[in-house]
Amino acid sequence: MELKTVQTEHVPVQYLEGGKGQPLVFLHSAGGMTADDPFLAKLAERFHVHAPFLPGYGESQECPELRDMLDITLHTQDVVEALGLKNPILVGHSMGGMIAAEMAATAPHEVSRLALICPAGLWLDDHPIPDFFSTLPFEMPALLFHDAVAGAAMMTAGRDVADPNFLQTYLVTNARQLGMAGRILFPIPERGLAGRLYRVKARTILVWGDSDRLIPPVYAQEFKRKIAGSQLVSIPEAGHMVIFEKADQVADAIGRLAQ
């Protein structure tokens, strides 16, 4: 994947581009993404992938003007337009799924193929989503992965926790990334999407890990009910980070939209 920059109304936006095939836009989760992301590589095997960073993520510039769901939705629509893409396959994971769903609801004629991978955006009182923001790093793997031990190894790979600058870098990254994510996810990751999902016209694939403990699979049923004609692909032995734990199966599910 190649790191590139595109100009938008507010800030220059960095994005990763790679692969050949039909154009696809991937929107990352609150955890962010990296250029060596194995899932992006997998998608790039069959699609021409564009994966923009939300401002504040990666090395991209922050954008204080983006304060709420509408700002972030319209900004992301601006990014797609700035990339010169028309009606690409739109894929979003978790927070990115929430943004993708909002885009499909606000501009139903511009999004005809949508893949939502365990998206945020709904709230069921009987199934509260755990407070991701107050979760400590060491508690994250159990929340995010089917296999917490393997997940922990994945999360700490390439990080030198003994480095004295590690904590400061970690805190700055967290403040930049989750500070921005908080504008649509804190304290409850719900901003009225339920009332807008009826507008979605896209052919929609929902992908969910059976052992997702952050946004449990009961939410998959709720999305399925609210988006007419949507299909659910449930993946066994996968948690919220299903894109890492079962990259092939997720890519296959998205592949259905190419047909």
Partner 1 sequence: MKFTWFNLMPWPYLPDDFREKNRSVWVDIDQKLFDPVKSHEVYNTYMDLLEYAGEVGFDGIGVNEHHQNGYGIMPSPNIIAAGLARRTKDVALVVLGNSIALYNPPVRVAEEFAMLDCISGGRLVAGFPVGTSMDTNYCYGQIPSLTREKYAEAHDLILKAWTTREPFAFNGRYNKLRHVNIWPRPIQQPHPPVHIPGGGSVETYDFCIDNTYSYSYLSFTGYIRAKALLQGYWDRVAERNAPDTSPYRAGFAQTICVADTDEEAERLYWPHVSYFYNRCLHVYPGFADAPGYRTIKTIQSGALSQYAPQRGGFAELTWKNLIEGGHVIAGSPETVRQRMEEMIKGLHVGNVFCLMHVGNMPTEKCMYSTKLFADKVMPHLRGIFPDFADDSRFWCHPIDKTVSAGRLPSERDAFEAAREAALVPGE
Cα 42 from Cα 26, distance rounded (Å) = 12
Q: Which of residues 24-83 bind partner 1 (CB under 8 A)?
A: 62, 64, 67
* Residue 112 or 135 with smaller CB distance to partner 1: 135
CA distances from 18 to 47, 119, 139 (A): 8, 24, 33
Stretch that binds partner 1, among 38-46, 155-163, 167-175, 202-210 (CB under 8 A): 167-175
Give 80 or 180: the residue with its C-beta nearer to partner 1: 180
Q: What's the closest the beta carbon of residue 178 comes to partner 1, in angstroms?
A: 3
Q: What is the DSSP letter of 110?
A: T
- Binding part of the chain for partner 1, among 31-39, 70-78, 93-101, 127-135 by CB under 8 A, reads 127-135
To the nearest whole angstrom, how small is the minimum distance from the Cβ of residue 41 to partner 1? 28
* Site residue total, partner 1 (CB under 8 A): 26
CA-based torsion, 174, 157, 241, 247: positive or negative: positive
Among 83-91, 186-194, 235-243, 246-254, which window interacts with partner 1 (CB under 8 A)? 186-194
Report the first-to-last Cα separation within the chain, whole angstroms.
24
Query: For partner 1, which is the closer residue by CB, 181 or 207?
Result: 181
> Which one, 173 or 234, has the nearer CB to partner 1?
173
The dihedral through the CA atoms of 26, 31, 36, 38 has a sign that is negative
Pick the closer one to partner 1 by CB: 62 or 210.
Answer: 62
Q: Strand runs (DSSP E) across 113-253, as ranges?
A: 113-117, 203-209, 231-235
Omega of the bond leading into 128 within 30 degrees of 0 (cis): no
Which residue in this structure is represented by tokens 């069959």? 46
Query: Which is closer to partner 1, CB of 84 or CB of 161?
Result: 161
Q: Is 180 in the site for partner 1 (CB under 8 A)?
A: yes
Q: Is 179 in the site for partner 1 (CB under 8 A)?
A: yes
Residue pair 1/64 in contact by the 8 Å Cβ criterion: no
Q: Which residue in 5, 22, 34, 174 binds partner 1 (CB under 8 A)?
A: 174
The DSSP bridge partners found for residue 20 are: none
| Cβ closest to partner 1, residue 166 vs residue 198 | 166
Dihedral (Cα; 6, 7, 8, 11), 10-degree rounding: 110
d(CA 134, CA 136): 6
Report the residue from 172, 218, 228, 258 that binds partner 1 according to the rule CB under 8 A. Answer: 172
Q: Which residues bind partner 1 (CB under 8 A)?
A: 62, 64, 67, 131, 133-136, 139, 167-168, 171-172, 174-183, 186-188
